[in-house]
Structure 1
Amino acid sequence: MSYLDQTAIIELEKMDFYAYHGCYKEEQVVGNKFVVNISLETNIATPAASDKIQDALNYVEVYNVVKEEMMKTSHLLEHVTRRIIDRLFIDFPAIIHATVKVSKMNPPMGGQMKAVSVLLKR
């Protein structure tokens, strides 16, 4: 591996959102807490050498994309997760691989459960 080909994993962990995703009308009215975790593989050779944000994958911009997608109501976690990963690859061409996990906390499952999650890799 050459110095010009230095990849790293950047993780944005435990991003909390209050959103209105769900199949049941009550979920779309009352809402719920969601947690999003993202892992992004990108080449960091240039920003690691330059120490300049314009050369790096900007975490603030990544967060803002996730936030925008989380604010669009969907019936299924699968749909939200796919929208997020699609946007990441469109908006950030420096991404080589991505993993997006969206978790609905305390889902209405008829019993006690901490979360239900969808994890998508590309």
Structure 2
Amino acid sequence: MSYLKQTVALKDVKCFALHGFYPEEQLTGNHFIVDLETIFTPSGFDDELKQTVNYEDLNAIILAEMKNTQKLLETVLHNMISKVAALYPFVEIINASIKKLNPPMPGQIGHSFVKLTYTAAK
């Protein structure tokens, strides 16, 4: 028997934020790109939002957490995942990632990258 899985996601959400371990990063800020993806088994298709994830909610969560300055990008992602899981308890998998563009270190680095994956307990 096969099962249908649905993905609702926002990709490449561009933000300027003050995240960073070092105090100067929290003063100068940086540009970030965020992806937030949900995967779940749809309960039906009646053309109503109650049976899916509203990506407007995902956007609001991303923007709120990007304004909430943290030392570690892992903390930012954990907070996003926690909010999505609380709002949509039927979601089975949440992938969240952040790219920090031009991280402040020697050399020409396009971006640093952190990703967290949440899998709901069965």
Question: TM-score normalised to the size of structure 1?
Answer: 0.87
Task: Tell me if 1:85 matches 2:81.
Answer: yes
Q: Which runs of 4+ in 1 moved over 4 A?
A: none
Higher helix share: 1
Structure 1, residues 72-92: CA drift from partner, whole Å, max 9, x if none? 000111111111111111121
Correspondence 1:93-104 to 2 at 5 A: 93-104=89-100
| In 2: Cα distance, 1:108 partner to 1:90 partner | 34
Structure 1 vs Structure 2 CA RMSD:
1.6
Q: Which runs of 5+ in 2 are unaligned?
A: none
Number of the residue aligned with 2:51 = 55
Number of the residue aligned with 1:38 = 36
Q: 2:21 aligns with which of 14, 20, 23?
A: 23
Number of the residue aligned with 1:76 = 72
- The amino acid of 2:31's aligned partner reads K
| In 1: Cα distance, 2:92 partner to 2:81 partner | 12
Would you say the 8 A contact 1:107–1:116 is kept in 2?
yes
Query: Secondary structure of the residue that 2:100 maps to in structure 1?
Result: strand
> What number of residue pairs does the alignment pair up?
118
Would you say the 8 A contact 2:98–2:115 is kept in 1?
yes
Task: Tell me if 1:105 matches 2:104.
Answer: no
Percent sequence identity over matched residues? 30
Would you say the 8 A contact 1:57–1:94 is kept in 2?
no
- The amino acid of 1:119's aligned partner reads K
Question: TM-score normalised to the size of structure 2?
Answer: 0.87
